[in-house]
Amino acid sequence: MGAPASLLPELENVVQHGSAEKRAETLRRITTLFLEGAAIFKPDHVALFDDVIGTLIEEIEAKALAELARRIAPVPNAPMGVVGALAENDDIEVAGPVLKSGHLADDDLVKLAETKGQAHLLAMSTRVGISEALSDVLVKRGNRDVAYNIATNQTAKLSEGAFSNLVKRSEQDGALAEKVGQRTDIPPRLFRQLLMRASEVVQQRLLAQAKPETRAEIRRVMAAVTDEVGAKAAPRNYTAALATVRALHKEKKLTEADIVSYAEGGKYEETIAALATLCAVPVEVVDRLMNGERADPVL
């Protein structure tokens, strides 16, 4: 184990005076030396390589760093100081291999996920054994590809908050909805919510792909969802609400403040009736606009 120590004088000379090619070649040689003995090295040996390689990479081009990352990422006892430095690199070709590996403490990963760009988040989303803390940040900050990876990563632990976020994002994304619905750890309440908002195609795919022992439960939920949607679709009775607001309007006591009060109090019929009366349009028109998917007719 005297080899790394014997390279120290050469290392100092390379760092101070060597060309980019010379530094890259020295890094390659020392990395090879580490890889050849990594399986039998003790922690103090690894620490020595950590110091040596860590010194070299302070003045090295991205191409050589990317090669280093690819070589040491699969090694179980890779020098962690070097791994951490590579993970923080803004170049995804450098950071990607170690971000995808099993290295790095959870706290460090969370900090990186909170500050790095989408390429780094995407690399982290493929890791094995993602914690709830990390998945929370990835789902919150990540784009569609990151969210999809998290949903399909069965080793990722998801909090209820992360599931809720994914279900919401699934409303306009059938492929994501399908993957989220296939997770066996999704809370029943959120699975029901996902089914309620999913297209019929997604519902049928989830049913077809489910295990036999869970299909009955999915059918039960789908039936309940159908009944609930049907109940919500039933026409509302505005007779009493119209009588109340028209009486106020006749006495010139109906104002916009009343609409706000009705809305804040959860009085849907009164809110619609008041809007219709003040705007002098049929209550059915206001009801249809308020329940439409587009907000611009209301605005």
**Digit-coded pLDDT (tens) for 45-68:** 999 999 989 988 988 899 999 999
Closest CA to 283 of 154, 249, 73: 249
Of 230 and 102, more confident? 102
Task: Give the model's pLDDT for residue 228.
Answer: 60
The CA-to-CA distance between both ends of the chain, in Å, stands at 75
Closest CA to 154 of 185, 188, 178, 175: 185
Of 85 and 284, more confident? 85
97 belongs to a structural domain: no
167 belongs to a structural domain: no
- Integer-rounded Cα Rg, in Å, for the chain is 30
pTM above 0.95, yes or no: no
Rounded Cα distance, 139 and 162, in Å? 6
175 belongs to a structural domain: no
Report the length, in residues, of the chain: 299
274 belongs to a structural domain: yes
Closest CA to 218 of 192, 247, 250: 192
Structure tokens of 127? 């890791």
Rounded Cα distance, 157 and 139, in Å? 12
What's the whole-number mean pLDDT along residues 172-186?
A: 92
How many structural domains does the chain have?
A: 2
Of 221 and 67, more confident? 67
Distance of CA 75 to the CA centre of its chain: 27
Rounded Cα distance, 25 and 63, in Å? 12
What's the whole-number mean pLDDT along residues 164-177?
A: 93
Rounded Cα distance, 214 and 195, in Å? 14
* Cα→Cα distances 239→117, 195, 217, 260, Å: 55, 34, 40, 20
What's the whole-number mean pLDDT along residues 12-27?
A: 72
Closest CA to 180 of 171, 172, 189, 170: 170
234 belongs to a structural domain: no
13 belongs to a structural domain: yes
271 belongs to a structural domain: yes
Rounded Cα distance, 148 and 232, in Å? 31
87 belongs to a structural domain: yes
Closest CA to 283 of 254, 257, 253, 246: 246
Helix (H, G, I), strand (E, B) or coil at 176: helix
Task: Give the model's pLDDT for residue 219.
Answer: 75
Could you please report the per-residue DSSP string of 84-97?
HHHHT-S-HHHHHH
Domain termination site, one of 48, 76, 91: 91
* Cα→Cα distances 282→2, 97, 233, 244, Å: 90, 62, 19, 16
Structure tokens of 207? 């049913």
- What residue numbers bound the domain in which 270 lies? 239-290
Domain termination site, one of 91, 118, 139: 91
Domain termination site, one of 91, 125, 148: 91
Task: Give the model's pLDDT for residue 99.
Answer: 98
